[in-house]
Amino acid sequence: MSSADASPPHAPPVRAVVRCHVHKFGGSSLANAALYQAVTALFDDGARQSAVVVSAMQGVTDALIALLTAARAGQDWAPAWHGLQQRHLEAADRLDEHGRHGLRETLGHEFATLRDELAALAGGSAESEAIALRLPGWGEVWSSRLMQAALGGEAAGWQRLDAREVLVVHPGELGVAVDWDASHARLAAWRAQHGNGHVVLTGFVARDAQGRATTLGRNGSDYSAAIFAHLLDADALTIWTDVDGVLSADPRLVPDAVCLDSMSYAEACELAYFGAKVLHPQTMAPAMQRGLPIRIRNTLNPAAPGTLIAATSQPAPSPVKGLSLVDRLAVLELSGAGLIGVPGTAERMFAALHRAGVSVTMISQGSSEHSICCVVRADQAQRGREVVEAAFAEAIADGQVEGVRLTPDIAVLAAVGDGMVGTHGVSARLFAGLAQARVNIRAIAQGASERNISVAIAASDATRALRAAHSAFWLSPATLSIGVIGPGQVGRALLQQLAQALPRFAEEGRLDLRLRAIANSRHMQLAGKRLDPDAAIAALADGEPLDLDRFAAHVRAEHLPHALIVDCSGSDAVAAHYPAWLAAGIHVVTPNKHAGSGPLPRYQAIRAATRHGGTFRYEATVGAGLPVIQTLRSLLDTGDELTEVEGVLSGTLAWLFNRYDGTVAFSELVREAHRLGYTEPDPRDDLSGTDVARKLVILAREAGRELSLDEVAVESLVPEALRDVSKDEFFARLHELDAPLLARYQSARAQGLGLRYLARLDRDGRASVGAASPAAGHASLHSRLTDNLIQFRTRRYADNPLVVQGPGAGPDVTAAGVFGDILAIAQTLGARA
């Protein structure tokens, strides 16, 4: 049987053999000897010929430029030179353990040459200019030697080619341009001498038309790789770096940036031109000419597929592919009534800038033509202003033109994507995001290709603007950064409910609730991305000491659109923070009754803060998960008027009075309720009526009444004599409650009435809580177990009151009330219900 017969019917197609694969490693992938060794495993793709373009070791180009500057300034450069040599020799010793490649000697000579060059610079040699031109490129030379040794050297089939031997460049309109003919010829000559094997190449460096060694500009090794891919007629180009690919924004500024699967050359060019450091902006041109796709991959995570840059890109979920920032810019604005309708003004302005070599990043002109503004590099701004003023000197003297205004400290934020073409609302989304982050836009430009919208903003707003714009395009509008305080019973139940609901929300993609912080009274745990709600409480054990200001600042993260704090603490001190949090735009949700029923001025401060800040919701403070406050709100908001509220506002007291019929002593029922967990640890907290009074105050204030807790007439069921004794003594003397209550009950029965513990707010604003005898037929007489019951009498519900009734206590239903508030806020932020 032939081997063809043996192959399975649907064998995968054999991959075409790669003729030549160019790999480029940035300094970020080459920090030490171990990394040089590690990356060699990445070339094993069966390519007939591999070319490896290397940058300098991480930080080396910066160090060389610092040496250059120091030598020119007459400062002591020797220690830094020595340190740099040391670092390279250490790497050489590891990569060439037995000295087979003679690395130590070669590097030693080259460092000696560098030392002579620095000395010459310091001495003001006639060679200074040529030295300064080539000096920054030393790092690539050394790096290529290290890489060749890591790969086993010539013995293993790896030649080394110093790009300065073959690559000829000259200054061009858009940066350094390649002299293709000369470079091809030189490469062919080199090949004739060295054969067609694998090769290690220096990135970044080249020679100029005068034959002097030079560089392609900072970050230029990407460009080198694309140039050599072109020269070598490669059919694959991979740029290896330290991130998974091209991300939607600089990950150092936007922690939520996502990796893009694919981009078009045009998108990549725009993004790189507008500052995305991951690629040199000129990289795309040589690849584009050959139709050669570029793959960006992560040395540290080779399993990730990376980003493919090719002629067209796959449609992405967002019309914007990426966002980037250019900083150190300034705005030049030429304005004056005399510019209106005068042809050639723009041309005159830009011709003047062009002649002076001032490069223009962005141009914006209103259709009134009253002003033209452009964004230029900060270091060229003064010069730019002078040349434009000179070009319009006459018009300025005549008063037709006001002059040229220079605004320093500007950054440009660019949104880039082929998908923006013809898509409605892209700029609206961008501007809405920036407005929400209170970023002021100085100028706007949209390229006619519609592939780029750029906005000039104050440099001090740049990061905030980038984060806000990113969340406007990539995050669900209902992305909430959440902090939970005080994980007691209710907090725990809430975390469980969140843990259950989050996977469903994620699947539906409508809501992104991110638990990012948790605190108890002593500790807090802050997470950059998110905490698992199931593990959050355990994470508190190794948390840091509580600092509520830092906690709030962390929750209010700039890269996430909304922030929310859930206070399940029951603490008055925490409630005191609400006004500041709300004013900072943080939403607050709580079952803590202290804010709603605490000092009136603080309550008013909270209300005032919500007018321009976050939303405050506290549904679970009354009737746990029952829709009490929202029902009242809806009545009032639709124009109804509240006349009276009456109800059973304590689950504990409801249970006691529902059970009490005089046959079993009241004290026995209290003991039973305590055993069942229906009371607070100290039942006096329920029996005193204060908790009920707090709820009544909350309802009254919600209805617009300025009621304070001390204005509520409270009947405590705890006899005077038992109020200040210990809990044990209280339980021992519990029977002292019985006689007065039995008397009350019997007198009610005698009149055919029942006995309940009721809260009441009457039409004159009088508020009271205490045991009372509602008439037969009163809704409270039909409630069950721990039911809460609130009846609203209003203008519309005058004769037959509106009643909200149901279980109104317990951690689960209370947490559900809190969760409901969180979802209600999310809904106002744009989550689809």
Please report, as ranges, the residues that interact with ligand ASP according to CB under 6 A: 26-27, 55-56, 61, 139, 203-204, 218-222
Stretch of residues binding Mg ion (CB under 5 A), selected from 146-154, 218-226, 542-550, 653-661 = 218-226
Orientation angle between helical segments 103-122 and 138-150, nearest 10 degrees: 180
One DSSP character per residue, 760-826 reads EE-TTS-EEEEEE-PPTT-GGGG--TTEEEEEEEESTTSSS-EEEEEE--SHHHHHHHHHHHHHHHH
Q: Where are the beta strands (DSSP E) in 17-68?
A: 20-25, 49-54
State the nearest-atom distance from the C-beta of 305 to ligand ASP, in Å. Answer: 23
332: number of Cβ within 10 Å? 26
- Nearest-CB residue for ligand ASP: 221
Place of tokens 């329920």: 686
Task: Report the SS3 class of residue 737.
Answer: helix
- Going by C-alpha positions, the residue among 299, 155, 191, 289 that lies closest to residue 238 is 299
Task: Looking at residues 4 to 63 of the shown chain, list those that interact with ligand ADP (rule: CB under 6 A).
Answer: 26-29, 55
Q: Give 159 or 219: the residue with its C-beta nearer to Mg ion.
A: 219
Task: Out of 137, 220, 322, 754, point to the residue binding ligand ADP (CB under 6 A).
Answer: 322
Residue 243 binds ligand ADP (CB under 6 A): yes
Report CA 618 to chain centroid distance, whole Å. Answer: 28
For Mg ion, the closer of residues 219 and 621 by Cβ is 219
Are 460 and 438 contacting, i.e. CB atoms less than 8 angstroms apart?
A: no
Among 61, 202, 224, 241, binds ligand ADP (CB under 6 A): 241
Under a CB-based contact definition with an 8 Å cutoff, are residues 392 and 348 in contact?
yes
Q: DSSP 3-state assignment of 337?
A: helix
What is the DSSP code (8-state) at residue 320? Answer: -
Amino acid at 112: A
- C-beta of 246: minimal distance to ligand ADP in Å? 5
Closest approach, Cβ 277 to ligand ADP, in A, equals 4
Q: Which is nearer to ligand ADP, 222 or 512 (CB)?
A: 222
Please tell me whether residue 281 binds Mg ion under the rule CB under 5 A: no
Position 26 contacts Mg ion (CB under 5 A) = yes
Q: Report which DSSP code applies to 374.
A: E
| Residue whose beta carbon is closest to ligand ADP | 26
Residue 214 in contact with Mg ion, rule: CB under 5 A: no
Pick one of ligand ASP, ligand ADP, Mg ion, none as the site partner of residue 247 (Cβ within 5 to 8 A by kind). Answer: ligand ADP
Q: Which of 755, 685, 677 is nearest to 718 (CA)?
A: 685
Q: Which is nearer to ligand ADP, 226 or 669 (CB)?
A: 226
> What value, to the nearest 5°, has the Cα angle with vertex 31 and ends 194 and 77?
95
Q: Which two tokens stand for residue 217?
A: 């500009």
What, of ligand ASP, ligand ADP, Mg ion, none, does residue 61 touch, CB below 5 to 8 Å by kind?
ligand ASP
**Binding of ligand ADP at residue 495 (CB under 6 A)?**
no
Give me the least distance between CB of 252 and Mg ion, in Å please. 14
Examine the residue annotation and report whether 321 is marked as an active-site residue of this protein. no
Q: Which is nearer to ligand ASP, 220 or 433 (CB)?
A: 220
Residue of 35, 200, 206, 249 interacting with ligand ADP (CB under 6 A): 249
Size of the site for ligand ADP (CB under 6 A): 19
Minimum separation from the CB atom of position 222 to Mg ion (A): 6
- Residue 238 binding ligand ADP, by CB under 6 A: no
Class of residue 150 by CB neighbours under 10 A (exposed 0-12, middle 13-18, buried 19+):
buried
3-state secondary structure of 756: strand
Q: How far is the CB of 105 from ligand ADP (least distance, A)?
A: 28
Q: Which stretch binds ligand ADP (CB under 6 A): 270-278, 342-350, 387-395, 795-803?
A: 270-278
Stretch of 166-174, 217-225, 438-446, 647-655 contacting Mg ion, by CB under 5 A: 217-225
- How far apart (Å, rounded) are the C-alpha atoms in residues 475 and 828? 16
Taking the complex as a whole, the smallest distance from the CB of residue 28 to ligand ASP amounts, in Å, to: 8
How far from 162 is each of 148, 165, 207, 322, CA to CA, in Å?
A: 12, 6, 10, 35
**To which residue do tokens 């790009």 refer?**
163
- Taking the least distance from each CB to ligand ADP, the nearer of 277 and 723 is 277
Task: Name which of 322 and 811 has its Cβ closer to ligand ADP.
Answer: 322
Closest CA to 359 of 384, 324, 382, 334: 384
d(Cα 652, Cα 620) in Å, to the nearest integer? 16
Work out how close the CB of 53 gets to ligand ADP at its nearest, in angstroms, rounded to a whole number. 11
Distance between CA atoms of 95 and 103, rounded to whole angstroms?
9
> Catalytic: which of 529, 593, 695, 727?
695
Q: Which stretch binds Mg ion (CB under 5 A): 63-71, 137-145, 213-221, 408-416?
A: 213-221
Active site amino acids: 695
Task: Summarize as ranges the residues that interact with ligand ADP (CB under 6 A).
Answer: 26-29, 55, 219, 241-243, 246-247, 249-252, 276-278, 322
Binding interface with Mg ion (CB under 5 A): 26, 219
